[in-house]
Amino acid sequence: MPDKDASTPRIFILRHGETEWSKSGQYTGKTDMPLTPHGEAQVKGTAQQVYGLGKLIDPAKVAKIWLSPRKRAIKTYELLSGRNDGYEISESLAEWDYGDYEGRLTKDIRALRKDRGLDKEREWDIWSDGCEGGESSAEVTARIDTLLKEIRTFHANRMHSSEPKDIILVAHGHLTRAFAKRFLGYELSFPLSLMMEPGGVGILSYQHHNIDEPALLMGIGFPLQE
């Protein structure tokens, strides 16, 4: 039996398209930035390639859709699907609360922390150190795990069912990577390097049709388009 086939539930996790701050590298948590025209084009390009009947993300196979409450994530789903309904908003998918670091660049955050007498032995790392005035890695973990528990219960009940079982999540740069780490069972501080481009989509699933074997689906064969 293959590790993965069309009957195994999948989680399609998407990062919203480009904003002015994602373009410049500024940390964007609660600030409700709109997509740039290029960001909208990124999502439309993704949709053209992977979303639709018979495509990788087949809406006929999607059972649940959860979105971050930020407008940039909601707009991304609307551009992807052509719909403005049928989804749930989840605070579990909101971007990391950057607190004092909102709108800053990494180099500026590290300089600020050194001015405050922090990080004398190593440079700041959000996965271990969290954000002053914002969230710690433990707090981000707790809210992700709340949604993960719901997803795992849903998938466990449908693992061997013919009913729709795929899930779409739309979130943010740090949050998508944090979610993938937690899905795989890693602490956020675990040195697993992951990347997610604006408008990009990643896939999480399970090996051997087993809810206790979560996996990153590294490669997939795309269906032939007629």
Domain limits at 143? 11-216
Residue 76 is assigned to a ligand binding site: no
Is 101 inside any structural domain?
yes
Grouping H, G, I as helix, E, B as strand and the rest as coil, residue 111 is helix
Is-contact 166 205, C-beta < 8 A?
Answer: no
In a domain, 132, yes or no: yes
In-domain check, residue 123: yes
CATH at 102? 3.40.50.1240
Please report the pLDDT score of residue 7 as a whole number: 84
Domains of the chain: total: 1
Supply the pLDDT for residue 39. Answer: 98
Residues 50-70: tens digit of each pLDDT: 999 999 999 999 999 999 999
* pLDDT tens, position by position, 120-165: 999 999 999 999 999 999 999 999 999 999 999 999 999 999 999 9
For residue 142, is it within any domain? yes
Q: What are phi and psi of 202, to 5 degrees?
A: -115, 165
**pLDDT confidence of residue 226:** 62
- Helix/strand/coil for 22: helix
pLDDT of residue 1 exceeding 90: no
Amino acid letter at 218?
M
Rg (CA), the chain: 18
Is 174 noted as a catalytic residue in this protein? no
Instruction: Please tell me whether 72 is known to bind a ligand.
Output: yes
Q: Is there a contact between 170 and 14 (Cβ–Cβ < 8 Å)?
A: yes
**In a domain? residue 225:** no
Contact between residue 216 and residue 179 where contact means Cβ atoms under 8 Å apart: no
Q: Which two tokens stand for residue 81?
A: 């699907």
Say which of 20, 40, 95, 187 is annotated catalytic.
95
Helix/strand/coil for 175: helix
Catalytic, 18? Answer no
Q: What is the pLDDT of residue 225?
A: 64
Surface-to-core class of residue 106, CB atoms within 10 Å of its CB (0-12 exposed, 13-18 middle, 19+ buried): middle
Does 29 belong to an annotated binding site? yes
Determine, yes or no, domain membership for 186: yes
Q: pTM for the whole thing? A: 0.94
**Is 5 a member of any domain?**
no
